[in-house]
Amino acid sequence: MSSDYQIGHEGEFTYRGHTLGELQEMELDEVAELLPARQRRTIERGLSTEKRKLLEEAREADEEETANDPIRTHLRDMPILPAFVGLTFAVYEGQSFERVEVDPEMLGHYLGEFQLTRTSVE
């Protein structure tokens, strides 16, 4: 089984046949068609007001190039979209906010997948 993302011949990242630049210029419903079913359904049913606000904050941060300032959020169930690539989020993990830097390989996953809520006891 091949993965959904790969590095092309020129060393360029692609997700399901589209480059990162192409993905970032697509509309939200076009990107949703490329995502896995669970994330696609989340978008098709409509993003909540909190999720829409987070998406707008990410777009503003990308335009202002304040990518190093983390965007704080409790939304662990937000799908990672192309607008989030290169940004830093501070995701709440139950006690504190932990930094998550979004890479292109994270597309199609949830923010909470990259910040665990439990630690092992030694």
Residue of 5, 2, 1, 25 whose CA lies nearest to 13: 5
Does 120 map to a domain?
A: no
Q: What DSSP designation does 83 have? A: G
- The boundaries of the domain holding residue 41 are 5-114
> What is the rounded CA–CA span in Å between residue 19 and residue 6?
10
Does 122 map to a domain?
A: no
Q: What domain count does the chain have?
A: 1
CATH number of the domain within which 82 lies? 3.30.860.10
pLDDT of residue 91: 94
| pTM exceeding 0.75 | yes
Does 73 map to a domain?
A: yes
Q: Could you read off the pLDDT of 17-60 as tens digits, one per residue?
A: 899 999 999 999 999 999 999 999 999 999 999 999 999 999 88
Average pLDDT over all residues of the chain: 88
